[in-house]
Amino acid sequence: MAFQYNRLDKDDVALLMVDHQSGLLSLVRDFSPDDFKNNVLALADIAKFFDIPTILTTSFEDGPNGPMVPELKETFPDAPYFPRPGQINCWDNEDFVKAVKATGKKQLLIAGVVTDVCVTFPALSALEEGYEVFVVTDASGTFNPVTRDTAWRRMEQGGAQLMNWFAVGCELHRDWRNDIEGFGGILAKHLPHYANLMQSFTAQKG
């Protein structure tokens, strides 16, 4: 049976940002704080750039888990937003699932904190419902690399595709000519070493 390349399609994908809350973020130790912050915001900028329907959710945000990071709220001021009253798997929240279905998309990008719970659970639930699931590995964080590896394997076993934010952006963009300035601007902002290349290039161009 032939393999089918389920390629990200900017017209058929939605993004789920799960539990990027100030308290929970302090638990993330499989990335440096600078790297992780950059990865999460890069993914958000990509979603906004491609105008991808985005759904936000939090868990117990009035308790120690804390509020969603303000940058996400600012990037997606009009996104559906579900502060869950108790469900750990956001897919157990009916309103959230309704919002996902309302997007009418077949592909789901999922990122969250912590990877082994807030990402893995909805990823497996969505796979069961027939969605194509793409987990953004470097915009999802957890306690340590052993836990991360455990979670990745479970999602992979269920059929999820693993992608990093840069690959997500490139697979959505497809062709630089679609908007060189716009996409290049995101890279310059979130890939410091790519920004260096651009700066050298510009300087030498004169």
Q: Which is catalytic among the residues 42, 56, 118, 119?
A: 118
What value, to the nearest 5°, has the Cα angle with vertex 42 and ends 188 and 68? 145
Backbone angles phi, psi at 105, to 5 degrees: -90, 155
Show the tokens assigned to 12. 């058929």
Query: By CB under 8 A, how many residues form the interface with its own copies?
Result: 88
**Which contiguous run of DSSP H or E holds residue 197?**
helix 192-205
Q: What's the min distance (Å) between Cβ of 163 and its own copies?
A: 6
Phi, psi values for residue 28, rounded to 5° = -75, 120
Q: Is 23 in the site for its own copies (CB under 8 A)?
A: yes
DSSP helix/strand/coil, 81: strand
Q: Which window, 10-18, 44-52, 67-75, 102-110, contacts its own copies (CB under 8 A)?
A: 67-75
What is the chain's Cα-based Rg? 17
- Going 56 to 57 to 63 to 65, the CA torsion angle's sign is negative
Contact region for its own copies (CB under 8 A) — 31-39, 46-54, 72-80, 100-108? 31-39
The reply to whether 87 sits near its own copies by the rule CB under 8 A is yes
Q: Which of 73, 94, 106, 144 binds its own copies (CB under 8 A)?
A: 144
Smallest separation, CB 88 to its own copies (Å): 5
Does 163 engage in binding with its own copies (CB under 8 A)? yes
3-state secondary structure of 35: helix
Per CB under 8 A, the segment of 10-18, 43-51, 81-89, 100-108 that binds its own copies is 81-89
Question: Known catalytic residue: 90?
Answer: no
Handedness of CA 28, 105, 85, 87 (dihedral sign): negative
Residue 38 engages its own copies in binding (rule: CB under 8 A): yes
Q: Hey, is 114 helix, strand or coil?
A: coil
Q: Does 101 bind its own copies (CB under 8 A)?
A: no
Using the minimum distance from each CB to its own copies, give the nearer residue, 14 or 126: 126
Among all residues, which ones are annotated catalytic? 118
